[in-house]
Chains A and B, each alone.
Chain A
């Protein structure tokens, strides 16, 4: 069974940092693009970042560029999101999602993890 399990969420002060992790199982992790998608409380979905199978390509939504870094460790079947200079508007549930198996960044997302809540507040 394909499974994605996020961890690392919590309460952090504005300007602080947090590192999210996503543990993958049930598929060949190194063969797929991976993504982070977030959802602010009561709001819609927002794509955050993508990373290619070998980590050589990364893409970000404009609002997190320069503050967030997506990375992966294929040996550990793990995806990460390093979040720095956090703002109140970054408060959301962060989902890890599997992308496609091709070498191009055109991905639908399936499946998704259960999400981890990040709250940025003083």
Chain B
């Protein structure tokens, strides 16, 4: 079973700043089968990134994903007011999927 650890737990930033979120796996994630989701209060999660670096349909290009093996990163180049939310990574490289515990990006 692959365990995902996200850091930091909370990121306090101002609009316009760059956000860098980390997701570390307890073992290598097959074929970079790593996705990122955004969740706002009272809403369902929304897919941002799949395959570690491919943006989902309709996702702005300020969101980018990178990494391979056990270390993955979600970068938001310039935070917009609507980007303040909780972000989750998910590994889907095995028949048993798993999520990280989440990183909250809050307004400083």
Contact = CB atoms under 8 A, between A and B. Distances in A.
Contact of A44 (B46, B47, B100): B100
Given A44-B99, A44-B102, A59-B96, A109 B47 contact: yes
A50 B95 CA distance: 8
A27 interface: no
Contacts of A109: 35, 37, 45, 47, 90
Given A47-B98, A111-B47, 20 more contacts: A44-B102, A45-B39, A45-B102, A47-B90, A47-B96, A47-B97, A50-B97, A59-B95, A61-B96, A95-B44, A106-B31, A106-B93, A107-B92, A107-B97, A108-B47, A108-B50, A109-B35, A110-B47, A110-B56, A112-B46
Interface of B: 30-31, 33, 35, 37, 39, 44-47, 50, 56, 88, 90, 92-102
Interface of A: 35, 37, 44-47, 50, 57, 59, 61, 95, 105-115
* For the complex of A and B, 4 pairs with smallest distance between CB atoms: A110-B47, A112-B44, A108-B35, A47-B97
A45 B39 CA distance: 10
Q: Is the interface of A mostly helix, strand, loop or mixed?
A: loop
A113 B35 CA distance: 18
